[in-house]
Copies of this chain bind each other. A is one copy, B any other.
């Protein structure tokens, strides 16, 4: 069995998401961490490399440009790079690796501006490279189960979609002593022109797309910076009305100031024959209701689940898998595609969010920003 070699940019600064990427990438023994530029502090860089099992210290690099160049030059260079740095750096780093012919798995958002995303896609296509974007929640087993049930017509034609992603952390930081996250996420220069919509609302948009396959046509958005008496630079509460192809309606609420909500992404899809509901708080349960029947609670790894969903679980029924394992499924999808492309080996078929999902996300944010600025009018997606 072949394994892929991969490198990482970022992750050595103590932010949890770097470690999530790493564990996701190695979880199913499809890839091993071979190179990296984990942080700018070279001591910490090497320390991280050692702790994370990089065998060759020569492959710990001072900056990403050097890494891209040298790894591209090696015969045994990395197969792909994982980018888990702050938002404003995704675009230049991804561009650099693509230009050196290296596949990219990038944290979301893909870039700060739509045209950057489109440019990256163009390069990736020219170079025939795989580009994944880690929309975490698409890796949950029950999301795949939902997607396949909807595709199979089990809830009929979709009538309307109601989704939300409230968090509370921004307000909680006001009364606690943690402030690690607040800094760059509230800085437009680093996180881009949108706050909570770009940070978490875009997860909802991507998840609806994954589950339904529907194309988003236009949006009407209202942003707020709460509490109003604070001078905040970016919106942390957003309401969005959506219209998908065929005039199907949707609704998203997302917030970072909603006390009592940790990471409460919730999606409900209503059809004319049934409905499907999933919430991150109970990520291993899917509520499915057929019209005029009692609601049913689907769980992973059961005989009644779709094959593609069953194959995503690593544990027997009732043994909870969580955020790490969901991330692992993104990387499993990406690595399987890469292994098939490179070696023709078949390790199974798992979906992963491509650069197209990332670009859709950027267009969604752009349209919402425009709608909000123009007084909450309908704006078409570019």
Report chain B residues within 8 Å CB of A45: none
Cα distance, A1 to B280, chains bound together (Å): 36
Question: Interface with B: A108-116, A209-217, A249-257, which one?
Answer: A249-257
> Does A360 sit within 8 A of B, measured CB to CB?
no
Complex contact B172–A315 (CB within 8 A): no
Q: Is A52 an interface residue (CB 8 A)?
A: yes
Chain B residue numbers with a CB within 8 Å of A172 are 291-292
The reply to whether B247 and A260 contact each other, CB–CB distance below 8 Å, is no
Closest to A53 in B: B32
Q: Please report which residues of chain A, range 276-290, place their CB below 8 angstroms from some CB of chain B when the two chains form the complex.
A: 277, 280-283, 287-290
Distance between A31 CB and nearest chain B CB, rounded to angstroms: 11
CA distance A175 to B247 in the complex (A): 24
Considering the chains assembled together, what is the distance between the CA atoms of A60 and B165 in angstroms?
48
A153 to chain B, nearest CB (A): 14
Report A260-314 residues with CB < 8 Å from chain B CB.
Answer: 260-264, 268, 270-275, 277, 280-283, 287-299, 302-304, 314
Chain B residue, CB-CB nearest to A287: B260
The reply to whether B162 and A253 contact each other, CB–CB distance below 8 Å, is yes
A239 at interface (Cβ–Cβ under 8 A)?
yes
Distance of A226 from chain B, by nearest CB (Å) = 5
Contact A292–B322 (Cβ < 8 Å): no
User: Which residues does chain B contribute within 8 Å of A274, judged by CB atoms?
Assistant: 259-260
- CB neighbors of B among A214-269 (8 A): 220, 222, 224, 226-228, 237, 239, 241, 247, 249, 251, 253, 255, 257-264, 268
- Chain A contact patch, size range: 35 or more
With A249-B239, A255-B160, A275-B258 as contacts: A318 and B29 at CB distance below 8 Å: no
Q: How far does the Cβ of A291 sit from chain B's closest Cβ, in whole Å?
A: 5
- List the one stretch of A15-23, A91-99, A330-338 in contact with chain B: A15-23
Among B262, B376, B378, contact of A241 (Cβ-Cβ < 8 Å): B376
Interface assignment of A380: CB less than 8 Å from any CB of chain B: no
Question: With A1-B47, A239-B249 given, can you name 20 additional A-B contacts, CB distance below 8 Å?
Answer: A1-B51, A157-B227, A159-B257, A160-B224, A162-B258, A169-B316, A176-B292, A258-B275, A260-B270, A260-B274, A283-B320, A292-B302, A293-B304, A294-B298, A296-B297, A315-B323, A319-B322, A321-B322, A324-B325, A377-B377
Q: Hey, which bits of chain A sit against chain B, CB under 8 A?
A: 1, 16, 19-20, 23, 27, 29, 32, 47, 50-53, 155, 157, 159-160, 162, 164, 166-169, 171-172, 174-178, 181, 220, 222, 224, 226-228, 237, 239, 241, 247, 249, 251, 253, 255, 257-264, 268, 270-275, 277, 280-283, 287-299, 302-304, 314-325, 375-378
6 example contacts (A-B, Cβ-Cβ < 8 A) are as follows A53-B53, A168-B291, A171-B291, A222-B241, A262-B299, A263-B316
